[in-house]
Amino acid sequence: MYEQESHALLNDILTKLRPELGNTHTRHFYTRLGANFYAIHSLFYLLYGEREDFKQQLSSLVETLALRYVQRAPHLRESDMAREKNYNWFLSQKWVGMALYCDRFADNLNDLQTKLPYLQDLGINLLHVMPILDCPPEASDGGYAVRNYLEVDARFGSTDDVQALATTLTQRDMLLVLDVVVNHTSDQHEWAKRARQGDKKYQDYYYVFDNRSLPDAYEQGMPEVFPLQAPGNFTWDEAMGKWVMTVFNAYQWDLNYRNPEVLIEMINVILFWANKGVDVLRLDAVAFLWKKIGSSCQNEREAHLLLQLMKDCCQVTAPGVLFIAEAIVAPSEVSKYFGEDAINAKECEIAYNATFMALLWDAVATKNARLLNQGVKSLPTKLERATWLNYVRCHDDIGLGFDDRDISLAGYDPHQHRNFLIEYFTGRFEGSPARGLPFGVNRKTGDARFTGSLASLVGLESALQSQDEQTIDAAIKTIVLLHSMILSFGGIPLIYYGDALGTLNDMAYMTDPFKANDNRWAHRSHFDWAKAEKRHQSGTVEHTLFSTMKKLIALRKELVAFADFDNRQLLSVNNLNLLAFLRTDPKNSHNKVLVVGNFSTEAQRFEIDPLSSCTLFMHHDVKDLVAGTRLELDKHSLLIPPLSFYWLSE
Ligand code: GLC
Ligand code: GLC
């Protein structure tokens, strides 16, 4: 069980009963092991109970937990205890995140420390440093093809540099997020090399086959993640003389979690990085962890059991460390990554809200909020002690991951509507200002996704080229509007590194042979520090964007109603250009903030149903929290300017 509260309580009781116990170094480890062992054993048995070496494997797992606990530094153990007591700490509105590449935003990990003032200027206090572990430079998938899990890529620095960064961040009250790529390794990883040399032990770390018969059976249910650059889910390895499962790129070998040794290795890696001072671990591609013939090999029940085990084990050794689930899956599946039938997250405390992200993009293209309202209405409910990672852009492509049923309910034909969105964002739709690039186009299934930087996707790139003031203004407003939504929705907002300055696509990747076949690099550009300087120069795009975002971030941190305690109520609007929701302070229900966004290019009237529970519009005016002024209401209604939003209170 997830037992943070009971750990803290039990430890308190024990200290009072026998104060001398307080000095023993491993007491807290045993408390936590005691509280979690029933769950760990049951889960491990469900997955591996049939094996003859079951007991031996289980004891190797416990040994891993104990060894990593012994190595855990005193200050981290203290932070664990503090977080156990204050277990809702991460649900606070005070966290605002940014994802960046340490070698693109700075030179390397050390240099990144000198760049923290920029982040703090904006108000960022949660830093996701994109993957930094050792990868073959020619086949890295941007850091997601790991050759050695315990070593930092020499180009970025060393493990000591990570520790130094973690220390600096803690001093500044900032959190560090790092990736653990749990689903696959590089084909240059030691395990893969040994497998290739014929070592059976390591062949069993992967899905390896002598001939096509099982791969063909698997293929029947498996979609392709990269249909163009890496078609199919298996790769023939000449040296090994066998087929190996490679769901992503051909050089990324999928790990075989039917083998408990793989799980134990990965838990060891998780705890290794926890011990380096990382606060939050982003577990990559978690939906793919378990493969079963006849299924799509995504979201399998066993994938959830594995995540529960990872969480339970982390609770024992490093209970202050949180997990983010990167599961870009259907809305009905995603909330399962928090764990089911619980109040507390039993798998990952945080999950990417890819559905909300995709819905926001729909509103950008359609210039209305029909599907956005419908999709938010059917967002799955989540656990109390779990939260979303809300984002507009990240390092990956954008998939239209909402339900066909919601598209129909919004009044569109799903197939046509999806086609329209792809055409729109790749700029092929008549009049579209977007400059996105098609990604993952699958001719067999008709599926497609797209890439591109936020600014290029909302039309800033084309507007700057044509020097059209009105369209430049519309693009800026759209960027702000999108961020106003992720900052207020409930959850941790994660801003992508160039977006507060309006960074455009950068096509330089095309001349790099190791990147040219993957256009996600168009929006992974080197951070332009000269451009960043323009944030101080009023009248520039950079200044408008940066100063507005900075203000919104600061305001979010003050609004307790924006903390995530399932305190959001979607308001039904009779004008579907608008999305409106009410956020309520969990401790004081009189303290409410009404958020309303207008996605249309025309001003729109917002009326509140007098029967709704929202009494905000009963008076003759409301407070505009961003401008700090009061707005006159006209017969209980308010006019919302084009592509704008309000955060309102009494
Ligand atoms: C995740 C990453 C993505 C990577 C993939 C394979 O989805 O975000 O960038 O390509 O996993 O590791
Ligand atoms: C993830 C996502 C997918 C994304 C891919 C790589 O697995 O499921 O949407 O395209 O990684 O970018």
**DSSP state letter for 422:** H
Condensed to tens digits (0 to 9), the pLDDT of residues 450-478 reads: 999 999 999 999 999 999 999 999 999 99
Range 166-187 average pLDDT: 98
Ligand 1 centroid to Cα of residue 326, in Å, is 9
Please tell me the distance from the alpha carbon of residue 148 to that of residue 180, in angstroms, as a whole number: 11
Condensed to tens digits (0 to 9), the pLDDT of residues 515-549 reads: 999 999 999 999 999 999 999 999 999 999 999 99
Condensed to tens digits (0 to 9), the pLDDT of residues 569-587 reads: 999 988 999 999 999 999 9
* pLDDT band at residue 1 under the 50/70/90 scheme: very low
- CB distance 225 to ligand 2 below 6 Å: yes
Q: In whole angstroms, how large is the CA radius of gyration of the chain?
A: 25
Evaluate if residue 303 carries a pLDDT over 60: yes
Q: Whose CA is nearest to atom 2 of ligand 2?
A: 328
pLDDT confidence of residue 340: 82
- CB distance 545 to ligand 2 below 6 Å: no
Ranges 11-15, 307-311, 465-469: which has the least confidence: 11-15
Identify whether the C-beta of residue 288 lies closer than 8 Å to the C-beta of residue 254.
yes
Range 335-349 average pLDDT: 85
Q: Is 284 a catalytic residue?
A: yes
Calculate the alpha carbon distances from 290 to 11, 183, 293 in Å: 36, 9, 10
pLDDT confidence of residue 614: 74
* pLDDT band at residue 185 under the 50/70/90 scheme: very high
Structure tokens at 518: 């993957």
Contacts of 290 (CB under 8 A, 6+ apart): 257, 297, 300, 301, 302, 303, 306
pTM of the model: 0.95
- CB distance 328 to ligand 2 below 6 Å: yes
Whole-number mean pLDDT of the chain? 95
Ligand 2 centroid to Cα of residue 224, in Å, is 10
Candidate list 224, 326, 347, 564, residue with the active-site label: 326
- CB distance 232 to ligand 1 below 6 Å: no
Range 619-630 average pLDDT: 94
Tokens 């199919």 appear where?
232
Ligand 2 centroid to Cα of residue 442, in Å, is 14
**DSSP state letter for 381:** P
For residue 412, give the amino acid letter: Y
pLDDT confidence of residue 17: 64
For residue 340, give the amino acid letter: E
**Beta-carbon-side half-sphere exposure of residue 404 (alpha carbons within 13 Å):** 5
Calculate the alpha carbon distances from 439 to 97, 232, 423, 519 in Å: 26, 16, 12, 7
Q: Which residues pair with 649 in a beta bridge?
A: 623
Ligand 2 centroid to Cα of residue 476, in Å, is 28
Candidate list 179, 284, 312, 506, residue with the active-site label: 284
Q: Which residues pair with 584 in a beta bridge?
A: 592
Q: Whose CA is nearest to atom 11 of ligand 1?
A: 285
Calculate the alpha carbon distances from 128 to 356, 424, 428 in Å: 20, 30, 34
The torsion defined by the Cα of 254, 259, 265 and 269, in degrees rounded to 10, comes to 50
pLDDT confidence of residue 2: 46
- CB distance 397 to ligand 2 below 6 Å: yes
**Beta-carbon-side half-sphere exposure of residue 497 (alpha carbons within 13 Å):** 26
Ligand nearest to the CA of residue 284, numbered in listed order:
1
Please tell me the distance from the alpha carbon of residue 168 to that of residue 175, in angstroms, as a whole number: 10
Burial 249-266 (b: 16+ CB within 10 A, else e): bbbbbbbbbbbbbbbbbb
Range 494-516 average pLDDT: 97
Condensed to tens digits (0 to 9), the pLDDT of residues 30-86 reads: 989 998 999 999 999 999 999 999 999 999 999 999 999 999 999 999 999 999 999
Structure tokens at 374: 């419908």
Ligand nearest to the CA of residue 141, numbered in listed order:
1
Ligand 1 centroid to Cα of residue 579, in Å, is 31
pLDDT confidence of residue 9: 66
Evaluate if residue 5 carries a pLDDT over 80: no
Q: Is 261 a catalytic residue?
A: no
Structure tokens at 183: 């689903």
Evaluate if residue 636 carries a pLDDT over 50: yes
Q: Which residues pair with 79 in a beta bridge?
A: none
pLDDT confidence of residue 3: 61
